[in-house]
Structure 1
């Protein structure tokens, strides 16, 4: 099966978020006709691929997808990012540039500058010698051992012991792609763990505390194991799925 197109991904994410085209248009200031064209992979109606990149970024953010990863996937499916305009197209090559005529050296000014530099250098050497003595004295004073009252026991700050509960609230998610699919992974605090296309045959593992939130653009393209157990009934082919996974429950004794 072919990789899911950007238009199908945007449409699926919008429907999964429960948004209409009119609501996305109001949130992004992108016309409804352009959003409908993007969902049908028509980039010419909005002015071509150059302008479509900005529309894709805005719509992806509104429907809950990662804007940068979605634009990167858009560039892959439409021949790469637009090339920057060369400087030769902005500046005219035949325009003549008039440079001022070079005059002979001003020896009087050069002599004055050299004399000023010599005076400043001499002052710096004098001041530098005094500062060296000051720094040396400070260094000797700092190297002396602090006085300790007699019969005072020397105690060390105890190191904190590792918590026995560390690792019990961790969630481990391992995902393998049977075919390429867009995947977005966040932890319980909303920090991004991964956002992009998981290529066919690749396997990735993420580990976070308390909870791992996952968005999969094509649930039928991947297999997921959480805390070592495979997740069954994740979703069908081409189905956009949002799931949250929690730490394993403690076993009763």
Structure 2
């Protein structure tokens, strides 16, 4: 199966979100002609801003920006090399040192004397006011007052979220095994990142979260899944970008 291009993926996600090119342009402040070129996989040659446009468009249509840029880099020969500062900032002409005049010794001596005078005036005017008088001060204790015949008890500690999830039976366990290297992005129900990176070929990893696990696969055909002990196998084809959410209990097949 032919791998889906980044432009086709972004166009499909935009249509799925019910957005026109004009609406997407208004949301991202990216010109329509640029969006259309990216969706045709025909961005401007050596465009320094293309990766940033791809990331902004992916976020606006509901895709994971980092995952989409990762796929874009793989399809376009890898991430661009860093730009050296010396290549960006080039002086058109040399600086003639003779034109710059530094401060004279007379000016520096005058500034130093002014600082000394100000410091002395502050010390004289301050007197003893800058000393802390602690005589006769009683330090109050911070122990709480407990009413008579009522023992003081600490508030019970709240159990962690995962322990509560286990007690209610809504813990989600997702295990991913990679047949070949693939980029993954894993979040819990609150949007907290559990993992973001490349799972190498032959490796496997397991994540646990309360209520839901959100998973994005940059190459769904490269990995197999097991959710809550249920073997789901592959949930997509080679090169297919897939987003899935898993909750507690039995999961639907692909």
TM-score by length of 1: 0.70
Deviation at 1:203, TM superposition (A): 2.6
The count of aligned residue pairs is 235
For residue 50 of structure 1, give the secondary structure of its aligned residue in structure 2. Answer: coil
Q: Identify the residue that residue 71 of structure 1 maps to in structure 2.
A: 69
Q: Distance in 2 between matches of 1:83 and 1:104?
A: 42
Q: Identify the residue that residue 224 of structure 1 maps to in structure 2.
A: 225
Q: Does 1:27 align with 2:24?
A: yes
2:116 to 105, 114, 117: 114
Q: Distance in 2 between matches of 1:213 and 1:74?
A: 22
Q: Identify the residue that residue 92 of structure 1 maps to in structure 2.
A: 92
Q: Distance in 1 between matches of 2:143 and 2:243?
A: 63
Q: Identify the residue that residue 59 of structure 2 maps to in structure 1.
A: 61
**Root-mean-square deviation (CA), in Å?**
3.9
Deviation at 1:184, TM superposition (A): 3.3
Q: Contact 1:75/1:81 (CA < 8 Å) preserved in 2? A: no
Deviation at 1:169, TM superposition (A): 1.4
Q: Distance in 1 between matches of 2:248 and 2:15?
A: 28
Q: Contact 1:171/1:210 (CA < 8 Å) preserved in 2? A: yes
Can you list the C-alpha shifts for 1:50-102, whole angstroms capped at 9, x where unaligned?
23223322332344322234335545633534414427744334132522254
Residue 137 to residue 100, structure 1, CA distance change in 2 (3 Å): farther
Q: Contact 1:24/1:63 (CA < 8 Å) preserved in 2? A: no
For residue 71 of structure 1, give the secondary structure of its aligned residue in structure 2. Answer: helix
Query: Which runs of no fewer than 5 residues in structure 1 stay unpaired?
Result: none
Q: Distance in 2 between matches of 1:173 and 1:218?
A: 17
Residue 159 to residue 83, structure 1, CA distance change in 2 (3 Å): same
Q: Distance in 2 between matches of 1:110 and 1:221?
A: 71
Residue 34 to residue 109, structure 1, CA distance change in 2 (3 Å): closer
Q: Distance in 2 between matches of 1:145 and 1:54?
A: 57
Q: Contact 1:25/1:35 (CA < 8 Å) preserved in 2? A: no
Q: Identify the residue that residue 12 of structure 2 maps to in structure 1.
A: 15
For residue 49 of structure 2, give the secondary structure of its aligned residue in structure 1. Answer: helix
Q: Contact 1:12/1:239 (CA < 8 Å) preserved in 2? A: no
Q: Does 1:202 align with 2:203?
A: yes
Deviation at 1:219, TM superposition (A): 1.9
Deviation at 1:181, TM superposition (A): 2.7
Deviation at 1:217, TM superposition (A): 3.2
Q: Distance in 2 between matches of 1:17 and 1:244?
A: 20
Q: Identify the residue that residue 140 of structure 2 maps to in structure 1.
A: 142
Q: Contact 1:226/1:245 (CA < 8 Å) preserved in 2? A: yes
